[in-house]
């Protein structure tokens, strides 16, 4: 890797987009501008199909992660029930639970991966009769307890929803985020590993949920059996998403290469991935103060923001003891 300045290029902020793709995005946008369909068209379908090719599951494109989350809450009829999520997550996760009419129950994480622990799920099932779990894959790797949580939820009849907002490009022994539970929802918000500015993707092995989400994003058209709102993705966004989905594996392979060559040798106190797991490296997380750093994934715990009680010692430890090393996609450097 040739460094043109004293600061390694991967430390400078960049949106996860490859400048070589600009011409193709412009060509697609030109086609859309000249054609008669600015929404609900072929690019939405092509983006979904390309996402499914990577993810291995049927996919529905939406205007944001939130639209997919609300579709899951409605489809699994979680209104009035208890739903678990980790306290160290973005407020989107607990807010989707409360906006979906359910009561949010917070759980603790593991220190090693920052993600919800199987013990937290078992405790909430035993003490609080949870109907569903939102498992958040924090930082771009999969939660280390994903398989154990999935097995426990399947055994107890608890719905397992995966918050895949950070998990683009990740896998564990070839299985992709969203494939362990009943559904997974991705975000394409501007800073994500690959982005469309705004956008989301719901994936699920349940064909009925996929069909429900298609109606939910579109006011229930045309049978109006589903009471959704407008969570559609425009054709302009979908065209960008298609290009991004095609480039995603290259982006995450590049980030993994930089991580192995430059960051791993520098940081021994970091998230150590289990065998067979590939991270998309939305964040490169270390457990010691570093310079430069992009700060924390989350330093405020959601149960505190929402003024709920409870003791979450691992989440509190994690909030204080992790930092993120900058790792941005800049393919011109290597």
Binding stretches for ligand PLP (CB under 6 A): 64-66, 89-90, 92-93, 136, 163, 165-166, 187, 189, 200
Query: Which is nearer to ligand PLP, 8 or 238 (by Cβ)?
Result: 238
What is the rounded distance in angstroms from the CA atom of residue 203 to the CA atom of residue 201?
6
- Supply the minimum distance, in Å, between the C-beta of residue 178 and ligand PLP: 13
CB of 9 or CB of 102, closer to ligand PLP: 102
Instruction: Provide the token pair at 23.
Output: 């011409």
Nearer to ligand PLP, 27 or 191 (CB): 191
CB of 7 to ligand PLP, least distance (A): 26
If the CB atoms of residues 125 and 201 are measured against ligand PLP, the closer one turns out to be 201
Size of the chain in residues: 334
- Tokens 């300045």 map to which residue? 5
State the sign of the Cα–Cα–Cα–Cα dihedral 57, 61, 66, 69: negative
64 vs 204, beta carbon nearer ligand PLP = 64
Long-range contacts of the stretch 24-31 (C-beta < 8 A, 24+): 24/243, 25/239, 25/240, 25/243, 28/239, 28/240, 28/242, 28/243, 29/236, 29/239, 31/239
Distance of closest approach, residue 2 Cβ to ligand PLP, in angstroms: 33
Please name the residues in contact with 93: beta carbons below 8 A apart, sequence gap of 6 or more. 69, 85, 86, 134, 136, 163, 302
Element (H, E) at 106: strand 103-107
Toward ligand PLP, which CB reaches closer, 8 or 184?
A: 184
The C-alpha angle 83, 105, 215, rounded to 5 degrees, equals 30
Q: Least Å distance between CB 215 and ligand PLP?
A: 20
**Residue 286 region by backbone torsions, left for phi larger than 0, else alpha for psi between -120 and 50, else beta:** beta
Q: How far is the CB of 329 from ligand PLP (least distance, A)?
A: 18
Rounded to the nearest whole angstrom, what is the least distance from the CB of residue 40 to ligand PLP in the complex? 20
């Amino acid at each position: 890797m040739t460094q043109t300045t004293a600061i390694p290029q991967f430390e400078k902020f960049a949106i996860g987009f490859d400048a070589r793709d600009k011409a193709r995005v412009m060509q697609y946008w030109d086609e859309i501008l000249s054609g008669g369909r600015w929404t609900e068209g072929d690019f939405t379908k092509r983006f979904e199909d390309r996402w499914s090719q990577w993810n291995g599951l049927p996919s529905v494109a939406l205007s944001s992660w939130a639209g997919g989350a609300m579709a899951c809450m409605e489809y699994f009829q979680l209104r009035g029930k208890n739903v678990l999520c980790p306290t160290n997550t973005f407020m989107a996760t607990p807010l989707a639970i409360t906006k979906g009419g359910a009561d949010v129950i917070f759980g603790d994480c593991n220190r090693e991966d920052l993600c919800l622990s199987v013990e937290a799920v078992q405790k909430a099932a035993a003490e609080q009769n949870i109907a569903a779990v939102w498992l958040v894959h924090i930082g771009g790797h999969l939660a280390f307890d994903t398989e154990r949580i999935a097995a426990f939820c399947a055994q107890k009849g608890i719905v397992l929803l995966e918050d895949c907002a950070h998990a683009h490009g990740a896998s564990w022994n070839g299985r992709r985020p969203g494939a362990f539970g009943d559904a997974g929802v991705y975000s394409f918000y501007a800073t994500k590993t690959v982005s469309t500015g705004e956008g989301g993707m719901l994936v699920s092995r349940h064909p009925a949920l996929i069909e429900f989400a298609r109606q939910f994003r579109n006011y229930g058209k045309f049978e109006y059996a589903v009471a959704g709102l407008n969570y559609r993705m425009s054709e302009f966004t979908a065209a960008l998403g298609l290009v991004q989905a095609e480039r995603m594996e290259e982006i995450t392979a590049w980030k993994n290469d930089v991580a192995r060559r430059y960051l791993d040798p520098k940081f021994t106190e970091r998230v150590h991935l289990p065998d067979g797991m590939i991270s998309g490296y939305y964040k490169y997380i270390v457990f010691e103060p570093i310079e430069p750093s992009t700060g924390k994934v989350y330093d405020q715990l959601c149960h505190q923001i929402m003024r709920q009680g409870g003791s979450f010692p691992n989440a509190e430890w994690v909030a204080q003891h992790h930092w993120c090393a900058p790792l941005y996609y800049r393919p011109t450097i290597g």
